[in-house]
Structure 1
Amino acid sequence: MRPGYADLILTALRRRPERTAFRFTGDDGTNHTWTYRETADRIESTAAAFGRLGLAPGDGIALLCGPNPQAFTVMAAACLAGLRYTALHPLATADTDRTVLRDSASDYLVVDDTRFASRARPDGTEAITLAELDRLAADTPPGPDDPRGPALYLFYTGGTTGEPKGVMLRDRSLLANAWACSTWAWPSDTRFLITTPMSHAAGLLVAPGLLHGASFELHPSFDPDRVIDAIEHHGVSATFVVPTMLYALLDHPRLPAADLSGLNWVLYGAAPAGPDRLAQAYRLLGPVLSQHYGQAEAPNALTVLDPAEHRDDPTVLGSCGRPMPSVEITLRDLHGREVPAGEPGELCVRGPLVMDGYWNKPEQTAAALEGGWLHTGDVARRDDNGLITIIDRIKDTIITGGFNVYPREVEDTLATHRAVAAVAVYGTPDPHWGEAVTAAVVLHPGQHATPAELMDHVRARKGTLWVPKQLHLVDALPLTALGKIDKKKLRNQP
Structure 2
Amino acid sequence: MTTSAPHAPDPVHHDGGYARLILSALRRRPDREAFRWTEDGRSHTLTYGATAERIERIAAVLGRHGPAPERALALLTGPRPEAFTIMAAACLAGVRFTALHPLGSRENDAYVLRDSGADLLVVDDTRFADRAAAARAAATRVVTLSELADLAEDIDTTPAAGDRRGPADYLFYTGGTTGEPKGVVLGDRSLTANAWAGTTWAWPERTTFLVTTPMSHAAGLLIAPGLLRGATFVIHPGFDPDRVLDAVEHDGVNATFVVPTMLYTLLDHPRTPTADLSALAWILYGAAPTSPARLIQARQRFGPVLSQHYGQAEAPNALTVLDPDEHHDDPAVLVSCGRPVPGCEIRLLDHDGNPVPVGEPGEVCVRGPLVMDGYWNKPDQTRAALRDGWLHTGDIARADASGRLTIVDRIKDVVITGGFNVYPREVEDVLSDHPAVAHCAVYGEPDPHWGEAVVAAVVLHDGHDVSPDELADHVRRTKGGVWTPKHISVHETLPLTALGKVDKKALRTR
TM range (shorter): 0.7 to 0.9
Is the 1:47–1:147 contact (alpha carbons within 8 Å) kept by the matching residues of 2?
Answer: no
Structure 1 portions without partners, runs of 5+? 398-406, 412-425, 427-434, 445-478
**Partner deviation per Cα, 1:258-302 (whole Å, 9 max, x = no partner):** 100000000011111111111110000000000111100001221
1:79 aligns with 2:91: yes
Answering whether residue 97 of structure 2 is matched by residue 97 of structure 1, we say: no
Are positions 1:51 and 2:63 aligned together? yes
Instruction: Please list, as runs of the form range in 1=range in 2, the aligned pairs for 1:37-436 lying within 5 A after superposition.
Output: 37-54=49-66, 56-114=68-126, 115-119=128-132, 120-121=134-135, 122-145=137-160, 146-159=163-176, 162-396=179-413
Does the Cα contact within 8 Å between 2:296 and 2:329 map onto a contact in 1? yes
**SS of alignment partner, residue 203 of structure 1:** helix
Q: Report the counterpart of residue 30 of structure 2 in structure 1.
A: 17
Aligned length: 424
SS across alignment from 2:68: coil
Instruction: Note if contact 1:368-1:376 (Cα within 8 Å) is conserved in structure 2.
Output: yes
Deviation at 1:442, TM superposition (A): 5.4
- After superposition, the Cα gap between the structure-2 partners of 1:379 and 1:175, relative to the gap in structure 1 and judged at 3 Å, is same
Q: Which residue of 1 aligns with 2:16?
A: 3
Task: Give the Å deviation of 1:58.
Answer: 4.5
Instruction: Give percent identity, aligned residues only.
Output: 64
Q: Report what 1:402 is aligned to.
A: none
Residue 472 of structure 1 corresponds to which residue in structure 2?
none
Amino acid at match of 1:262: A
Greater Cα offset, 55-64 or 372-381: 55-64
Query: SS in structure 2 opposite 1:110?
Result: strand
Which amino acid counterpart does residue 56 of structure 2 have in structure 1? E
Separation (CA, whole Å) in 2 of partners of 1:247 and 1:36: 34
Cα distance in 2 for residues equivalent to 1:163 and 1:23: 37
**Residue 336 of structure 1: how far off its partner (Å):** 1.8
CA distance in 1, matches of 2:156, 2:409: 50
Q: Is contact 2:396–2:409 with CA below 8 Å preserved after alignment?
A: yes
Change (3 A) 1:44 1:493: farther
- Which string of whole-angstrom CA distances, capped at 9 and with x for unpartnered residues, describes residues 20-46 of structure 1? 0000012x2211000001000000000
Corresponding residue number in structure 2 for 1:453: none
Q: CA deviation at 1:393?
A: 1.1
CA distance in 2, matches of 1:191, 1:132: 30
Higher RCO (Cα < 8 Å, 6 or more apart):
2
Shift of 1:185: 1.1
* Cα-to-partner distance string for 1:183-223 (whole Å, 9 max, x where unaligned): 11110110000000000010000000001110000000001
| Alignment CA distance shift 1:212-1:322 (3 Å) | same
SS in 2 for 1:132: helix
CA distance in 2, matches of 1:288, 1:117: 41
Change (3 A) 1:492 1:365: farther
Moved over 6 A (4+): 435-438, 485-488
Any conservation in 2 of the 1:17–1:35 contact (CA below 8 Å)?
yes
Distance 1:438 1:314 in 2: 23
Q: Return 5+ residue gaps in structure 2 as ranges.
A: 1-13, 418-423, 425-440, 451-474, 491-510
CA contact (8 A) 1:160 1:488 kept: no
Secondary structure at the aligned position of 1:276 is classed as: helix
